[in-house]
A and B are shown apart, each in its own frame.
Chain A
Amino acid sequence: MKKILSLFLILFSATLLQAQVSDLLKKSEVHGSFEADGMYYHPDIPMGITDSLIAGRNFAFNGFAEVIYTLGNFSAGVRYEAYLPPIAGFDNRLEGSGIPYMWASYSTKKFSFTIGNFYEQFGNGLVLRTYQEWTLGYDNSLNGARVTYQPVKGIILKGVYGTQRFFWNKYTKNSRGIVKGMDAELCFNDLVKSMADSKLRITIGGSFVSKYQVDNDPIYKLPRDVGTGAARFNIGIGKFNFSSEYAHKINDPSAINHYIYKPGDAFIFNASYSTRGLGILAVFKRIDNFSYKSDRAETANALDISFLPPITEAHTYMLASMYPYATQPNGELGFQLQVNYKIPKKSKLGGKYGMDISVNFSQINDIVRTPAGDTSAINVPGTLGYTSKFFQFSDHIFMRDIEIHLHKKFSRKFHATAEYLNQVFDIASIQGHAGDPVIHDNIAILDMTYKFTSRKSLRWEAQALFTKQDKRNWLAALVEYTISPHWFITASDQWNYGNPVTDDQLHYYTVAGGYSVKTIRFALTYGRQREGVVCVGGVCRQVPASSGFYLTISSSF
């Protein structure tokens, strides 16, 4: 009887609730995404992967699921992550599972308030950028509070306060620094009515960030509060655009800068000209002692407050990405010139469909350091470290990258891309391979696509890398067959035929297939992964050589 009664009660309350709840639920939205990457490793003796190296850890798994709930102005989100254990190449400190990301926010057009974990970027990110990059296992989200306020159209004010994510380590008293920051941005074209349709477009901004970390150092007296300030502008005049940001940091001795007391500077300047069919870009960048982390003892890819973008091209072809650049936070001076041009349709060279040409030149040198005093050498811990002139390029080249890229559609069925690269790469400085000679390489790539029908097409790549240094010459090829909208199958091989050690003249082959429908995607890969570096946006991770199966499933809703 009691059971029946309670059942009645449930049904009754449910129907009562339904009216209100269903109304509420109609207004609410739920969406999210998930990904699961699984790896099975097997021994591969020629690659040096033995049973004892794998040590029973044949399986690796990285996965996440994220859900965002919205009800009117209110929203909340949560992300679960698991690394059991992390796939080879990811930071070992990620091993584990849990909820590292949880937030709730209230936002209107003028005002927003977030509590919990959040991502934010001030200007170009020189003084503050928190972000997440799944493919790198990188996440430096702030945990605390964020406010943005737009008093009138054209002014945006932001404030942030919190501590950064450090793998699975919870923040406890003094375990790492506390970050606070403010940013203001003014857009004159929105603020001043008479400028609304002006050809002159001006936006300016400024930010201030400070980190607090206790000083427990037995030797040095370290600054508890390290402040950085930055100013920026973006000016457009017709087809020209100029943007720049300058940031200054007070002394911040850290494990990265050898505990020197020199203040730091970062400067970026971009100028571009864009018109239909033509785009030209020039970039100048200088970094001087600008590593800024919320723990001064951290040296790996973690707890970064500042983001120092590299200005070399992000290459994606297999052999072109052999030697990727990573920003040198202790000092670099570089420039880049890029021209994108479309040879018009129906011209002699352009043919029926036109042809895209892009040329890029980037070079990054070290800065010139001179001793700060008469007695001390350069970078002696506990001293001012060095002095450096702003526009002085050192003879030491970290990287030079020349790229010519052509793309042409020959007919409705056939199009092709050709690329040539010439690079100088100081592997000793960039990847810490002390003593290795500077690499000079030439790379040629041909990428062709043939469409059999409107749905079926075949793509193939041929690539070659020539160098007298490191592992010497490589050849690579790839074939890919796709049936739109669902299927792909691909096979590739990278052959280190020029390796001076005959036993190391290996083939790094892979075969893969995949299926995608709407936002669901499956892909299975079998093969060998060469040792290398994967970089996204200037942050890189080392990937060890591995061999085996790789399955990835992802979806969003």
Chain B
Amino acid sequence: MKKFLILIFIVLLGLGAMAQSESSNKLPSVNVKTLDGKTFNTSEISNDGKPIIIAFWALWCKPCKKELDAYNEVYEDWQDETGVKIIAVSIDDARSTAKVKPFVMGKDWEFDVLLDPNQEFKRAMSVNMVPHTFLLDGSGKIVYQHTSYYEGLEDELFEIVKKVAKGEDISKH
């Protein structure tokens, strides 16, 4: 009987693995805040069938701010070419949520910023550490993600965004 159960379990696992490889995760439904203090549900994130970049960051995270500075510099070009939308999710807690808006405006960042003060969205996305960046295709599926930021990483990401925007295969990245 025990062996039988184990076998069933293995078969199920195999099926699970097969199913997994066919589908990619979508965005969870979690309430976050906009910089205006409004509640916003993450399942409503969309971009008219074009790619979306979701970048988790915090005020205390230097590489995150570098990454977003780098995106900001090229954002207009990226948008013209691919229609990509960038959403920066701040995981700063109550210590500094009020600081995020003056900081973002002071930096003159052009993209949308959301607040996730108790890290519910971060947890739901299995983000261990920041920076952690996700790329979603036009249907809202997560097709690529990476952690850490090194100078120049934005070039690599843009190559992938271009492919995703055209609907090309990115499995090599």
Identify the A interface with B (CB < 8 A): 6, 10, 13-14, 17-18, 21-22, 25-26, 28-33, 35, 66, 68, 70, 75, 107, 109, 119-121, 124-125, 129, 131, 134, 148, 156, 185, 187, 189-190, 201, 203, 234, 236, 241, 243, 270, 272-281, 283, 307, 309-311, 314, 316, 338-342, 354, 356, 358, 449, 451, 453-457, 459, 482-485, 488, 516-519, 521, 537-538, 554-557
A280 — which chain B residues lie within 8 A by C-beta?
Answer: 102
User: Given A314-B96, A557-B126: A10 and B153 within 8 A (CB)?
Assistant: no
The answer to whether B118 and A119 have CB atoms under 8 Å apart is: yes
A214 to B132, CA, bound (A): 44
CA distance A518 to B125 in the complex (A): 15
A35–B128 Cα distance when bound, in Å, is: 8
Compute how far the CA of A279 lies from the CA of B127 in the bound complex, rounded to whole angstroms.
29
Contact A519 B106 (CB under 8 A): no
Q: Which residues of A contact B150 (CB under 8 A)?
A: 457, 482-485, 488
A22 to B12, alpha carbons, bound, how many Å? 9
Asked whether A314 lies within 8 Å of B118 as measured between CB atoms, the reply is: no
Interface residues of B in 136-162 (CB under 8 A from A): 144-148, 150-153, 155-156
Contact B120 A31 (CB under 8 A): no
Pick the contact of B105: A29, A278, A517 (CB < 8 A).
Answer: A278
Residue from the list B28, B93, B126, B148 in contact with A516, Cβ < 8 A: B148
Question: Can you list 6 A-B contacts with CB-CB less than 8 angstroms, sorted by A residue number?
Answer: A125-B118, A156-B31, A190-B39, A234-B37, A243-B37, A274-B101
Known pairs A156-B31, A277-B106; A22 contacts B19 (CB<8 A): yes
Asked whether, in the complex, the Cβ of A309 is within 8 Å of the Cβ of B93, the reply is yes
A353 to chain B, nearest CB (A): 8
Q: Which of B28, B41, B107, B150 has the most CB of A within 10 A?
A: B150
Could you tell me if B152 and A31 are in contact, using CB atoms closer than 8 angstroms? no
Q: Are B19 and A26 in contact (CB under 8 A)?
A: yes
**Is B38 a contact partner of A10 (Cβ separation < 8 A)?**
no
CA distance A22 to B17 in the complex (A): 10
A273-B152 in contact (CB<8A): no
Residue of A nearest to B148 (CB): A516
Contact yes or no, A10 B148, CB < 8 A: no
Of residues A10, A185, A279, which shows the largest number of chain B Cβ atoms within 10 Å of its Cβ? Answer: A279
- Chain A CB count within 10 A is highest, among B28, B126, B129, B153, for B126
8 Å CB interface, B1-40 against A:
4, 7-8, 11-12, 15-16, 18-20, 22-23, 25-26, 28-29, 31, 36-39
**Which residues of chain B are within 8 angstroms of A17 by Cβ–Cβ distance?**
11-12
Contact B126 A66 (CB under 8 A): yes
CA distance A160 to B62 in the complex (A): 35
In the complex, the answer to whether A516 meets B147 with C-beta atoms within 8 Å is: yes
> Contacts of B153 on A, CB cut-off 8 Å?
484-485
| A107 to B108 Cα, complex, angstroms | 37
Cβ contact of A274, chosen from B106, B118, B132, cutoff 8 A: B106
The answer on a CB contact under 8 Å between A316 and B60 is: yes
Instruction: Check A190 against B102 for contact (C-beta < 8 Å).
Output: no
A-B pairs, 10 with minimum CB distance: A340-B106, A279-B102, A25-B19, A279-B106, A274-B105, A309-B95, A121-B118, A457-B151, A234-B37, A270-B98
B129 contacts A190, C-beta separation under 8 Å: no
Check B107–A356 contact: CB distance below 8 A.
yes
- B156 contacts A277, CB within 8 Å? no
In Å, the complex CA distance between A25 and B43 comes to 21
Other A-B pairs beyond A29-B26, A338-B99, 4, CB < 8 Å: A30-B20, A457-B150, A518-B146, A521-B148
**In the assembled complex, which residues on chain A have CB atoms less than 8 Å from the CB atom of B26?**
29
